[in-house]
Structure 1
Amino acid sequence: MTTLAGLAHRAGIAPEVVAHLQKLTSAWGLLADLCFSDLILYVPTYFDLSNPAQPSSELNYMVVAQVRPATSRTLYPKDLVSSVITASSAPGITQCLSSGHIAFKESRVPHSDEHRVSFCIPVRHDGVVVAAMVREYELNAKLVRGELERIYVSLFERFANMITRGEFPFSSDDLAEAPRVGDGAMVVDEDDVITFMSPNGASALHRLGSHVARVGDTFASLGLDLGVIARARLNLEPVVEEIEKKPVTTVMFQALPLLNLGEYSGSLVLLRDVSELRRRDRLLLSKDATIREVHHRVKNNLQTISSLLRLQIRRLTSEDGKEALREAERRIRSIAVVHEILSRDVGDVVDFGEVISAIVDLAHESVPPDLHLEITISGSPGELDATVATPLALILTELIQNSIEHAFSSRDESAGERSGHIKLTFSRRLASLVIEISDSGVGFKEGFNPKEITSLGLSIVDSLVTSQLCGEISYGSQQGAHIRVRVPVPDRISL
């Protein structure tokens, strides 16, 4: 395994420490951007470098995570994760872990006049140093740093000190859509006064109509009703808020409190113009609502047709005609079940378990009064694509109805009330869904040949399975009728 959890497990790190390190690595993209450098996370371990399966008597360090900056080039194009180095070759990390303080190490880059600096930061959890986060960067005399770069690095150093004290990462981070440093950044002091504003941060404020924002202002003086800073100060946790300026502008703010020995000393405020994202969200919501409405109207139309058929049944005198319309009405209702579920849920997949329950309820309505029928379900089909669910609902309706009409009709009626059992079994095999329908009835007649089916219901089933779903169907008698249907299911569907 190459995940942090897997590597930490191999290194013998306690689960609570792993959780802390995972929280750190979920937030440290911010730190890499602030310091314009690669960040590498080392944990102490005892591994034999020549044979990782064997323990070593000497202390080594394993790389369990690595992040590259979005604001600068990386020094390590290749991944270092899972690599192991000896403690003797990394005195800076050893000093950092043993002393619990930030350690520096400078070395010359081979075949170059430049020097590389390792900035080793102890990662503390519950008062104990558990890992070292190393910032790697090159000293380049030709590179001129401006005010923005200096302030970003100073912010990184403040976060680094928070890490050494166990104050970072925060206990709960809302980073799902958190802005990046390059999107826009501002710094406010403990009095909520803006002490720094990046050009992109100023541009985001301009989008909200604050064209005169400058260092020394407060958000209140700019007319922005922004509560993230007050909540970040109160809870000492990151806070995310969006401000919308109608009709089309939305800016996301995230305030990260800067702590010093547990005391609030200001906030780093990240800004991001999310207007286009929110516009797309609204379009998706509108599209989902439209799709649901279409399915709702299809369901209503099918129910109307079903009602018209029932009215027509009452006007007929021919029993054959009535039965034919009843069968048509049941088929329409089984299709309407799928559209009813799609009208409630967003997406193009259906929880087919709900469809089965509705189909079983429909089947019970057609059971003769003198037949006590039990229908049981084993296994679960899970979610199916609507293109599979609709014909499959019709197939199950036909097969269950076929058992009700034919499986128990030849019982000795002199014994009084009849009883029967229909069992539906669902299972996933490779990329297929297998459905087995069995009953306790008389089974198929001797000499039954599926290729010579004359029943309309079974003809519909055979056509839907083989032609529309590209599946297979087989018939047999095992103390009653037994039908097996296999249909391919796309891999993207979770069953």
Structure 2
Amino acid sequence: MLSNLTAEQRNSLQAMPQVLGLAADIAHAAVTIYLPGENKKFFNVYKQEQPMTQVGNVRPDMTGRRVRAVEEPLVARVLQKNVPVNGKREWALGMFNSLKVFPLRDSRGHCYGAVSFESAAPDDIIIAQSLELLCNLRQDLSNNSNYQRLRPSDGIMVVDANRVIVAANNRARHMFDVMDISHLVGCRTNDVAINWPLVGMVMETGTAESKEFTMHGILLSIRILPVIPRPKAGCAIVILQDITELRKKDEELLIKSVVIKEIHHRVKNNLQTIASLLRLQERRAQCDETKIVLRDCVNRVNSIAIVHEYLSQQDTGLIDVGKVAKGIYQAIISSMLHPEFILHADFKADPVQLPSDKATSIALILNELLQNTIEHAYEGRMSGSLKVRFAEESKRYVLSIADDGVGLPEGFSLNSNRQSLGLKIIKTMAEADLQGSFSLTNREDGGTLALVTIPKGGLEDVK
């Protein structure tokens, strides 16, 4: 499609797609670029964009298609005569749009393509400035927020070299009607009622600028784009957005976020208070069995408190399970191991982000597994090894705890009704809460392997 163009023409044409959508939004028109075909009876649609400022009346995208010249007589005339043409296009039975077609010229004035603006209610001045912007903007816009596309609620104005507003769309007129400025076109941007010094600076430097400001009690976001991006080059396009309600919503969300964090912080503190009370009760208990039950309860409460501690430090409802697992591991090891016991520990957890309720279930499972291992695996010994892993695989998460302890008793079964409360908690949470599985088996080289597998599919719906 570009093979018949000169290097200058190709460079100019290839820079247009990045600003074509913005030009369509500003002009409030469908913008299409046409190139001549090898056969004069046909031409090609190089690129087409629909305006995001328009609702309905959207034509199918013609980009890349070959069009018969007899189907687009206005475009054919522009390509042949190298002159702008105005006309009408019937887009539905008995319904017509205005069609303005302009030649695309190189530095020698040769026509190498055409660009059309199709709109139900065209504004000649705004369309002319959109065309200038399209043909003159050559810089990389990928990281420039000033050139982002528009919204239907944006007000658009054209300011000439004398800083006089020479055109405005209906949305801009309505915004200023609310602010008791009824005759917007003809006002100067340095008038007392408007006073936008930023417009003059953009015209002086040729560089787009933006800012937020309050005018007549309304919070506005303003973007000013030089039509030709070089100093003192003439007109500018001013884009105004009323962001009053948007900022109110942002503030409300911020307040909610702070409140939620504070709630998690207080829940953590309350859980730690409960754990402290249980520890006091544990010290006063006379029966060893009661002490063990209270100690296990303390660890369970602390595991949930760790989850709330992480929730109180971030904005999302997702938790890094790896960090939570490490916190629980360190807490259990420090609280349950005898000071003289030598443990050769190997802990590793992948950084996995999961919803808070699922992270809580995994935290409690890990807590119960570690308690069970330390309490039963090393009976009669003063040393041992422990390997803890939480890993993310392609379709699942795997929590494994391996020890070199005494192993499981003969005839052990997870389905037995006589199993401990801890094992029942693990099995219930793994299967019911996480839609996973739990197994506990003897290792070939001695000790026990506890394995919890959690399918990713069971967690995706709540992410």
Q: How far has the Cα of 1:205 moved from its partner? A: 3.3
Equivalent residue for 2:384? 419
The one of 466, 472, 475 aligned to 2:440: 475
Q: How far has the Cα of 1:172 moved from its partner? A: 4.7
Say if 2:237 is the partner of 1:258.
no
Matches within 5 A, 1:97-112: none
Cα gap change, 1:195 to 1:159, in 2 (>3 Å): same
Structure 2 unmatched runs, 5+: 3-9
| Structure 1 Cα separation of the partners of residues 54 and 405 of structure 2 | 73
Partner amino acid, structure 2, of 1:287: K
| Structure 1 Cα separation of the partners of residues 338 and 391 of structure 2 | 27
Q: How far has the Cα of 1:481 moved from its partner? A: 1.6
Q: How far has the Cα of 1:301 moved from its partner? A: 0.7
Matches within 5 A, 1:51-450: 63=46, 66-68=49-51, 70-71=53-54, 77-81=59-63, 83=65, 118-119=101-102, 121=104, 134-135=115-116, 137=118, 149-163=123-137, 166=138, 170=141, 172-174=143-145, 179-180=150-151, 183-207=154-178, 209=179, 211=181, 214-223=184-193, 226=196, 228-230=198-200, 232-233=202-203, 236-244=206-214, 249-259=218-228, 263-366=232-335, 367-369=337-339, 370-380=341-351, 382-411=352-381, 413=382, 418-430=383-395, 432-450=396-414
Asked if the contact 1:350/1:389 (under 8 Å) is kept, the reply is: yes
The one of 18, 22, 25 aligned to 1:30: 22
Q: How far has the Cα of 1:117 moved from its partner? A: 6.4
Q: How far has the Cα of 1:201 moved from its partner? A: 1.6
The one of 433, 437, 451 aligned to 1:484: 451
| Structure 2 Cα separation of the partners of residues 338 and 280 of structure 1 | 28
Cα gap change, 1:219 to 1:105, in 2 (>3 Å): closer
Asked if the contact 2:385/2:404 (under 8 Å) is kept, the reply is: yes
Q: How far has the Cα of 1:176 moved from its partner? A: 8.7
Q: How far has the Cα of 1:78 moved from its partner? A: 2.4
Say how many residue pairs are matched.
Answer: 439
Q: How far has the Cα of 1:331 moved from its partner? A: 0.7
Cα gap change, 1:177 to 1:363, in 2 (>3 Å): farther
Asked if the contact 2:36/2:44 (under 8 Å) is kept, the reply is: yes
Say if 2:428 is the partner of 1:463.
yes
Partner SS, residue 445 of structure 1: coil
| Structure 2 Cα separation of the partners of residues 336 and 122 of structure 1 | 69
Asked if the contact 1:373/1:421 (under 8 Å) is kept, the reply is: yes
Cα gap change, 1:199 to 1:78, in 2 (>3 Å): closer
Asked if the contact 1:228/1:253 (under 8 Å) is kept, the reply is: no
Partner SS, residue 304 of structure 1: helix
Once structures 1 and 2 are overlaid, which stretch shifts more, 329-338 or 441-450?
441-450
| Structure 1 Cα separation of the partners of residues 106 and 24 of structure 2 | 16
Partner SS, residue 264 of structure 1: coil
Partner amino acid, structure 2, of 1:295: H
Partner SS, residue 190 of structure 1: coil
Q: How far has the Cα of 1:428 moved from its partner? A: 3.8
Q: How far has the Cα of 1:398 moved from its partner? A: 1.0
Partner amino acid, structure 2, of 1:449: S
Equivalent residue for 1:52? none
| Structure 1 Cα separation of the partners of residues 345 and 35 of structure 2 | 61
Cα gap change, 1:35 to 1:186, in 2 (>3 Å): closer
Asked if the contact 1:237/1:257 (under 8 Å) is kept, the reply is: yes
Partner SS, residue 185 of structure 1: strand
Cα gap change, 1:423 to 1:235, in 2 (>3 Å): farther
Q: How far has the Cα of 1:237 moved from its partner? A: 3.4
| Structure 2 Cα separation of the partners of residues 463 and 297 of structure 1 | 28
Q: CA RMSD in A?
A: 4.5
Partner amino acid, structure 2, of 1:205: F
| Structure 1 Cα separation of the partners of residues 462 and 427 of structure 2 | 24
Equivalent residue for 2:6? none
Q: How far has the Cα of 1:360 moved from its partner? A: 2.0
Partner amino acid, structure 2, of 1:394: L
Cα gap change, 1:86 to 1:433, in 2 (>3 Å): farther
Cα gap change, 1:110 to 1:233, in 2 (>3 Å): closer
Residue-by-residue CA offset, 1:61-98 (whole Å, 9 max, x unaligned): 67566435644875x732334546799x999999999x
| Structure 1 Cα separation of the partners of residues 87 and 194 of structure 2 | 48
Partner SS, residue 135 of structure 1: strand
Asked if the contact 1:37/1:72 (under 8 Å) is kept, the reply is: no
Equivalent residue for 1:56? none
Structure 1 unmatched runs, 5+: 1-7, 9-16, 47-59
Partner amino acid, structure 2, of 1:454: Q
Asked if the contact 1:213/1:222 (under 8 Å) is kept, the reply is: no
Q: How far has the Cα of 1:246 moved from its partner? A: 8.6
Equivalent residue for 1:4? none
Partner SS, residue 334 of structure 1: helix
Partner SS, residue 60 of structure 2: coil
Partner amino acid, structure 2, of 1:31: A
| Structure 2 Cα separation of the partners of residues 269 and 109 of structure 1 | 29
The percent of aligned pairs where both chains have the same amino acid is 26
Say if 2:31 is the partner of 1:39.
yes
Q: How far has the Cα of 1:482 moved from its partner? A: 1.6
